[in-house]
Amino acid sequence: MRRNTRKIFASKIARALVTVVLMVTSVFVLMRCAGDPVTVLLGPDATADMRAAYSGELGLDRPILAQYLAYLHNIVRGSLGVSYVYRQDALGVVLSHLPLTLTLTCSALTLAALAGVAAGIAAAVFPSSFIGRACTVGTVVGLCVPSFFLAIVLMLVFSIQLNWLPTGGAESWRSLVLPAVTMAAASSAVLARYTRVAVRESLDSRYVLAAFARGIPFWRILIHHVLPNAAVPILTILGLLIGGAVTGSTVVETVFSWPGIGNLFVTSVGNRDIPVVQAIVLLAGTAMIMTNLAVDLGYTWLDPRSKSSET
Amino acid sequence: MALPIEPPHVHTARASSEPILELRNVDFSYPAARRSAAQVLGGSRLHKINMIIRRGKAHGLIGESGSGKSTIAKLLLGLIAPEAGQIFFDGELLTPDRLAAFRLRVQPVFQSPLDALDPITPIGKQIIAPLLVNFKMKSSECQARLAAAISAVGLSGEILGKLPHQISGGQAQRVNIARALILHPEVLICDEPVSALDMTVQAQILNLLSDLRESRGLSLLFISHDIRSVAYLCSEITVLKRGSIVESGSRDEVLLDPKTGYMKSLLEAVPNSGLGLQTASPSKPCSQPAGRRDLPAEG
Amino acid sequence: MDQTSSHALEAPYARTLEHGSAGRPAIAAGGAPILSITGLTVVLAEQPETRLLEAVQFELRKGEFFALVGESGSGKSVLCSTIMGVASSELRCLGDIHIEGRRLSDVDRRQRAMIYQQPSLYLNPVRNIGFQLRETVQVLDGLSKKEASERAADLLRDVGINDPNETMRKYPHEMSGGMNQRVMIAMALAMKPKLLIADEPTSALDVTTQKQILDLLERLRSDMAILFVTHDLGVALQRSDRIGVLYAGQLVEIGRADLVARTPLHPYTRALFSAVPPLSGRPRRLHSPAGSLPEPTQRQAGCNFASRCSGRLDICRHTRPTLQGIPQQVVACHNLEA
């Protein structure tokens, strides 16, 4: 069994690496499809001399395969070109914005996970009680209200009317509260819905019925039988949310002027800072693949059946 | 029981005991990736399977779970290919290019009748679907075949507009048999067709299969772990244990004079082997431990 | 479709049975009844006129093996879950269930245990056997973890599992149906129940495994009463002391197993016996009554079997028969001369 597990882990990691290579390649192809990079960089008014000089400098006059290999070589060395705006290594620019985005997404997701899973369990266990109904209504509202609208409402109430929290920036923990809550709202609603379904399904299962018939107390059944079974679908959704959070923070970061990667992405697109955009896309893609890998590995830990079934 | 509207098959004119399906030295094992799951269930590896299903006869295949019964069904339906050995249909070697034609002449009936039906399509449409897909047949001819198939399995026309959840398990199994019959097959491969049904419904379906065999000259491969239904329906019986055939022969040979300890133990495990017995049998099928209320065969 | 032949079968049964042993030497099934059900009627809470069980009445004594025979839709499962106290909240129960003379609501839950047809569905797939068994023992007896492990191993040995420690590390999907059923029985035994309800525990198993499980239950029965739900008449006849036949929510016949088999009095019981394929001898046509069990919503005032019965009288259409007869065999039928 243990050898089998190791084999499954190895194959999953190998698959994730292949996916990363494919992602990197498609980014290269997309960048070339988006138009002549020289025109993109220099604008349509550039002179032929400037274009030729730039092409030579960037290696754009070489065959496409050679360009691709050079691109891969650069990625392995960790150099993704020099930012057009910052005149620095693009990856360095992106990484300098990463801690703030991580702070925001981690706090938002922790909040979302706690609130969403708790609300989902409550809604599943007490479907007709006040708590259950409140959770159901709350999740619908959370799903329906767009995050920029919620952001503005929160800002109006807590910053402008009550003057408790700042409207933007990243000076102290107080500026983190509103963006984190805004981001958590939609995620927790999604999580709550899936948690409710998963817990409900497990509660209705026959092994729970049998556990009741054996006289196991309800809370024990919930913690030791229902939640371990409901964990698999919850983990799946959580994985998707984490993977999406890096890019999903764009709107919230922009609204609250939170100087993270999302904010950087928006300004870089506006500035046509291609190396930075490319670095962000590669980073976000890798993050997505890695969370999926982590979720996949999590399954084998949570559900013993996935070890012996086909990989 | 309703009689088939159509004339009997042309094939029934031929000598009725000639082999229609034959497995010769067939080996099969699932690919390594899926083996671990199969091993838990006892491993479904087939080894040197030789078996002949004769035209117009019902052939029973008995075995415990994991013995490879369903794997043989899949082989005979052309759903998987043997690793070694050959399958002959009607005296000809089954090759990949003949598979499409072959599949029309050999039709399956599976265990869970309701699972085999699409829950949102009316019954009538599901029964004629194979005709539309395979032959692009005229609608009037389709309707005629549909009526014939429905009456052959003892259903009335009103069921055609219903959805699967509106009918009973027994009716659903009749629908599955009708869907197989509409292609005018020569062989029905029945994999545990009555195991999921209630006992009186089981009897109805067994009677229906027996009638179809007699009136249409259909050949049956009847796979079951229930020795009673195999004994009732089949004139030849093959016993499978862990992927190998341990015993094969006529019903009387296998049931009354089992050669292997394995078959004896299977027979011994059938509760009340005398139950349902109506006429005297040549020998006691098995001895039972004392102290049980059994119905001994008359000797 | 198939015609009901209600008489043809009595004679051969009477004949074959004369050779059989007269009845179980009987582990004395005596004393006060362990389970006593009187006038149990179960209806849908929303539509009280839809009756899933109607006036069900029987008793089980210690050491007794009672086989309840019925087809799907007969109300077997409703009866089991009602006795276990886990019936759906959409149902309402009228009538009385007593266990050892006490009302069901006052009875300690561990007095009754249940095993099921597909044991793997009733075991938690993501917890290993050891956890589930230990948990049961710990909750029931308040043992420490170490004591619970030892008790769990003992229980597994009791049900014929020779390598309990190995088995406790396994998950349900790594074991065969027969092994899972043994584990379920071990869990039931952990409760030291007075009443064991077995809902088709062997229907999904191979015959040899079925025999092992039945032998196991046979060995355990001296300490409890077993309510064995089955649709296999062979099993019912071979193992049980008494057979009860449930049809459309009503017990239509209850009697000593040999009597029910030799002289089935209800036409439905006769139909059930005639539908069993013979194991040997020349095959004949199997008899099966036309039509099917009436749905709970479509049941009429008269006998539920009337529409499928060949010996139907006028009275059958409007008056529902009640159980009557000698103590060893009672039947709910108006036409006992048929």
pLDDT, average across residues B190-198 = 85
- CATH number, domain at A141? 1.10.3720.10
Give the per-residue pLDDT at C229: 93
pLDDT digits (tens, 9 = 90+) for A100-156: 888 888 888 899 889 889 988 988 888 888 878 888 888 888 888 887 888 888 888
Smallest CA-to-CA distance from B123 within B150, B101, B104 is with B150
Whether A310 and chain B come into contact, CB under 8 Å, resolves to: yes
Q: Are residues A185 and A260 in the same domain?
A: yes
Residue B294 lies in a domain: no
Q: Which residues of chain B are within 8 Å of residue C176 when distances are taken between CB atoms? A: 40-42, 65
A10 in any annotated domain: yes
**What pLDDT score was predicted for residue C256?**
92
Q: Are residues A172 and A57 in the same domain?
A: no
Answer yes or no: is B176 within a domain: yes
Going by pLDDT thresholds of 50, 70 and 90, the confidence category of residue B43 is low
Provide the ipTM: 0.78
Q: Is A309 touching B (CB cutoff 8 A)?
A: yes
- CB contact (8 A) between residue B269 and residue C211: yes
Q: Is C291 on the interface with B (CB under 8 A)?
A: no
Q: Are A47 and A154 in the same domain?
A: no
The C-alpha angle B100, B105, B111, rounded to 5 degrees, equals 100
In this predicted structure, the answer to whether residue C315 has a pLDDT above a threshold of 50 is yes
Average pLDDT over chain B reads 79
pLDDT band at B61 (very low <50, low <70, confident <90, very high): very high
- Whether B198 sits inside 8 A of C231 (CB atoms) is yes
Whether the Cβ atoms of residue C67 and residue C235 lie closer than 8 Å to each other: yes
Let me know: does C45 contact C194? Beta carbons within 8 Å.
no
Contact C282 B274 (CB under 8 A): no
The answer to the question of residue A84 being in a domain is: no
pLDDT at B299: 29
In chain C, what residues touch A308 (CB-CB under 8 Å)? 173-174
What residue type is B285 in one-letter code?
P
CA-to-CA distance for A95 and A76, rounded, in angstroms?
16
Within this chain, do residues A98 and A63 fall inside the same structural domain, yes or no?
Answer: no
Q: How far is A296 from chain B (nearest CA, A)?
A: 18
**Chain B within 8 Å of A308 (Cβ-Cβ)?**
yes
H helices of B111-237, where? Answer: 123-135, 139-152, 169-181, 199-216, 227-233
pLDDT tens column, A46-83: 777 877 777 777 667 777 788 888 888 888 887 777 77
Question: Does the pLDDT of residue C96 top 80, yes or no?
Answer: yes
A234 and A126 housed in the same domain: yes
Min CA distance, B112 vs chain C (Å)?
Answer: 13
Residue with tokens 């027996």: B210
Same domain, A169 and A294: yes
Containing domain of residue B185, as a range? 18-260
In the predicted model, what is the mean pLDDT of residues B70-89?
A: 88
Q: Considering only A261-265, C61-65, C77-81, which range has the smallest mean pLDDT?
A: A261-265
Q: What pLDDT was estimated at residue C156?
A: 92
B-facing residues of C in 19-38 (CB < 8 A) are 19-21, 23-25
Q: Is residue B37 part of a domain?
A: yes
Tell me, yes or no, whether A140 lies in a domain.
Answer: yes
A236 and A213 in a common domain: yes
Q: Is residue A83 part of a domain?
A: no
The yes-or-no verdict on residue C261 having pLDDT over 60 is: yes
Pick among A5, A310, A311 to test the B interface (most B CBs inside 10 A): A310
For residue A85, is it within any domain? Answer: no
Phi, psi (rounded to 5 degrees) for B31: -60, 155
Nearest chain C residue to B153 by CA: give it: C1
In the predicted structure, residue C118 carries a pLDDT above the cut 60: yes
Give yes or no: residues A178 and A303 share one domain: yes
Partners of B41 on chain A (C-beta within 8 Å) are none
User: Rounded to an integer, what distance in angstroms lies between the CA atom of residue C34 and that of residue C101?
Assistant: 7
Query: Per the CB < 8 Å rule, is C23 touching B296?
Result: no
| pLDDT 10s digits, C208-259 | 888 889 999 988 888 899 999 988 888 888 889 999 999 988 999 999 998 8
pLDDT of the residue at B222: 94
A241 belongs to a structural domain = yes
The alpha carbon of residue C201 is apart from the nearest alpha carbon of chain B, in Å, by 14
Q: Does C238 touch chain B (CB under 8 A)?
A: yes
**Helices C145-158/C177-190 angle, 10° precision:** 120
**pLDDT at C10 exceeding the cut of 50:** no
CB spacing of C24 vs B272 below 8 angstroms: no
Element (H, E) at C310: none
Pairwise CB contact (< 8 Å): C125 & A229: yes
Put simply, whether A304 touches C (Cβ < 8 Å) is yes
Q: How far, in Å, CA of A45 to CA of A24, rounded? A: 31
Same-domain pairing of A116 and A260: yes
Count of domains for chain A: 2
Judge whether B133 lies within some domain: yes
B51 φ, ψ (degrees, to nearest 5): -155, 140
- A42: which 2 tokens? 């220099």
Q: What is the pLDDT of residue C132?
A: 92
Spell out the long-range contacts of A110-115 with Cβ–Cβ below 8 A and sequence spacing 24 or more.
A111/A180, A111/A181, A111/A184, A111/A188, A112/A183, A112/A184, A112/A185, A112/A187, A112/A188, A112/A191, A112/A241, A113/A188, A113/A191, A113/A238, A115/A184, A115/A188, A115/A192
Residue among A308, A310, A311 whose CB faces B40 most closely: A308
A130 and A61, same domain (yes or no): no
Asked if A310's CB is within 8 angstroms of B37's CB, the reply is: yes
| Calpha distance C69→C73 (Å, rounded) | 12
B237 domain-assigned: yes
- The mean pLDDT of C190-205, rounded to a whole number, is 88
Return residues 1-30 of A near B (CB < 8 Å): 4
- Whether B1 has a pLDDT exceeding 50, the answer reads no
Looking at the structure, tell me whether residues A39 and A95 fall in a common domain. Answer: no
Residue B276 lies in a domain: no
In chain B, the number of structural domains is 1
Give C60 or B31, the one with higher predicted confidence: C60
pLDDT digits (tens, 9 = 90+) for A233-252: 888 888 888 877 766 788 88
Q: Are residues A39 and A69 in the same domain?
A: yes
User: Quick one: closest CA in B to A7, which residue?
Assistant: B33
For residue range C139-180, what is the model confidence (pLDDT) as tens digits?
A: 888 888 888 999 999 999 988 888 999 999 999 888 888 889
Domain CATH number, residue B234: 3.40.50.300
Segment holding B259, helix H or strand E: none
Q: Give the separation between CA A306 and CA A296, rounded to whole angstroms.
A: 10
C215: closest chain B residue by CA: B269
Domain presence at residue B281: no
pLDDT at C30: 56
**Domain around A43:** 2-77
**pLDDT (tens digit per residue) in B196-210:** 788 888 888 898 899
Let me know if residue A224 belongs to a domain. yes
Closest C-alpha to C317, from C333, C300, C331, C332: C300
